[in-house]
């Protein structure tokens, strides 16, 4: 989808989503498979704002297997407005709604079904939901990101199927013009998508609920930066984030170092000579070149590059109507936006970066490893081992890289989107027992 400013296409929005159904008979949706959050969220038929009306909406009254529930899993009487109200804040966007238990089927396979607990969105923010064609989000984060264990899809899968080992693999093609097709493999991974063997990194800070890894060093053009010397750098591997997230205090350094002038010598900014970025993990290194992190289109003089970024409180699950937690997260977002609009010169090639401003315990030195990393590396998430595997994806881009060829076209740039879950509040609305 083109992004137009002053009558000119300056970039494109791209999203990665897949099919699932909820209810009996099945109601079909497209969702982002998001490792950065912990709930299945779909727009409800009760939602009347324009954002919801432009998408497929879930109607609880049309499903014979649906039950409205509270956060504790007990059924509730929605017509009497006694159901618990949940608010989920993402890095970009927010949803308010109610809980439901129903049958969900992945893809177009009516046999790949499981009973799940989900969130019916009665209010959904315009950004990013109105900007894209997907309807909702299927959170694939760890248990601590969910309002209760039964709302965590992976945890629910473990219980229902009585299994203890589970992996899923994510392959992201480079864009709509790529001959490759993106996919997510459940219950294992697709070895045909790998050019190199997987290298594994243990999940750090498991208790916080994110798929994150420890980053020992960050290098640009072979030079080690100072920011990770105290050992506190980490990176969340997030399939729902469109950019490479950088700690806010270091964003200017990254932007200045990685931005270069095109001057018309390359057809795309992904082809310009620019520094390599290296993220040194505990036993191996993830490396990104300009073909992975650059916006393909150079920005002309007078065009502003504005990043909303990710500035949340750490994930909060509150069953006591803690509105102050949400207010804190919203205030942090607003504060981080101040002074973040940077004017760029004509022909400047700029990286797809977004500022991240998490406080402790997740931050402050937190990276978000979004699409620029996932385009290059096939990524496997291991639930039992609590580890993440990375191997070069079998893409044209990587095949040419391995043969030391130049001029690989990365694809289309997107606006910043981050489904890193930042806050969850639940308002208990049950009447006291007499």
Q: Please report where in the chains the tokens 């790949």 appear, as a residue.
A: 112
Residue 352 lies in a domain: yes
Picking from 118, 141, 163, the residue at the C-terminal end of a domain is 163
Residue 375 lies in a domain: yes
Return the minimum-mean-pLDDT range out of 150-154, 191-195, 394-398: 394-398
Return the minimum-mean-pLDDT range out of 187-196, 225-234, 314-323, 425-434: 314-323
d(CA 309, CA 333): 8
d(CA 289, CA 271): 10
Whether residues 102 and 220 share a domain: the answer is: no
d(CA 289, CA 221): 10
Residue 86 structural domain = 18-163
Statement: residue 354 has pLDDT above 60: yes
Statement: residue 343 has pLDDT above 80: no
Whether residues 119 and 233 share a domain: the answer is: no
How many independent structural domains does the chain possess?
2
Whether residues 159 and 288 share a domain: the answer is: no
CATH of residue 401's domain is 2.40.70.10
Whether residues 72 and 192 share a domain: the answer is: no
pTM above 0.85, yes or no: no
Return the minimum-mean-pLDDT range out of 29-33, 293-297, 310-314: 310-314
Statement: residue 410 has pLDDT above 50: no
DSSP codes, 261-300: E-TTSSSSGGGS----EEEE-SS-EEEE-HHHHB-SSPBP
């Amino acid at each position: 989808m083109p992004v137009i400013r002053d009558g000119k296409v300056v970039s494109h929005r791209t999203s990665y989503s897949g099919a699932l159904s909820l209810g009996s008979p099945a109601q079909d949706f497209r969702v982002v498979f998001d490792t950065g959050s912990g709930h299945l969220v779909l727009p409800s038929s009760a939602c009347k704002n324009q954002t919801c009306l432009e998408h497929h909406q879930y109607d609880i009254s049309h499903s014979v297997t649906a039950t409205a529930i509270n956060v504790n899993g007990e059924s509730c009487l929605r017509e009497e407005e006694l159901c618990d109200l949940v608010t989920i804040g993402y890095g970009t966007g927010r949803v308010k709604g109610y809980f439901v238990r129903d049958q969900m089927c992945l893809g177009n396979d009516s046999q790949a079904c499981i009973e799940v607990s989900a969130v019916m969105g009665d209010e959904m923010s315009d950004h990013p939901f109105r900007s894209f064609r997907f309807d909702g989000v299927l959170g694939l984060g760890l248990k601590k990101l969910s309002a209760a264990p039964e709302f965590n899809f992976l945890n629910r899968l473990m219980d229902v199927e009585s299994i203890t080992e589970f992996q899923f693999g994510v392959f992201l093609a480079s864009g709509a013009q790529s001959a490759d097709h993106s996919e997510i493999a459940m219950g294992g991974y697709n070895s045909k998508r790998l050019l190199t063997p997987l290298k594994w990194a243990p999940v750090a800070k498991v208790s916080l609920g994110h798929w994150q890894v420890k980053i020992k060093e960050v290098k640009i053009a072979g030079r080690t930066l100072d920011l990770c010397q105290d050992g506190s750098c980490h990176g969340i591997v997030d399939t729902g984030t469109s950019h490479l997230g950088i700690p806010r205090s270091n964003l200017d350094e990254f932007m200045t170092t990685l931005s270069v002038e095109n001057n018309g010598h390359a057809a795309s900014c992904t082809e310009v000579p620019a520094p390599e970025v290296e993220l040194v993990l505990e036993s191996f290194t993830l490396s990104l070149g300009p073909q992975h992190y650059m916006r393909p289109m150079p920005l002309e003089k007078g065009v502003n590059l504005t990043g909303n970024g990710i500035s949340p409180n750490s994930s909060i699950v509150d069953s006591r109507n803690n509105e102050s937690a949400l207010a804190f997260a919203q205030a942090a977002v607003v504060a981080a936006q101040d002074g973040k609009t940077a004017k760029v010169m004509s022909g400047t090639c700029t990286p797809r970066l977004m500022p991240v401003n998490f406080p402790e315990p997740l931050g402050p030195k937190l990276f978000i490893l979004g699409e620029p990393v996932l385009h290059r590396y096939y990524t496997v998430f291991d639930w039992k081992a609590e580890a993440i595997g990375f191997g070069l994806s079998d893409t044209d881009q990587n095949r040419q890289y391995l043969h030391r060829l130049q001029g690989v076209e990365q694809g289309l740039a997107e606006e910043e989107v981050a489904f890193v879950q930042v806050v969850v509040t639940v308002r208990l609305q049950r009447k006291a027992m007499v």
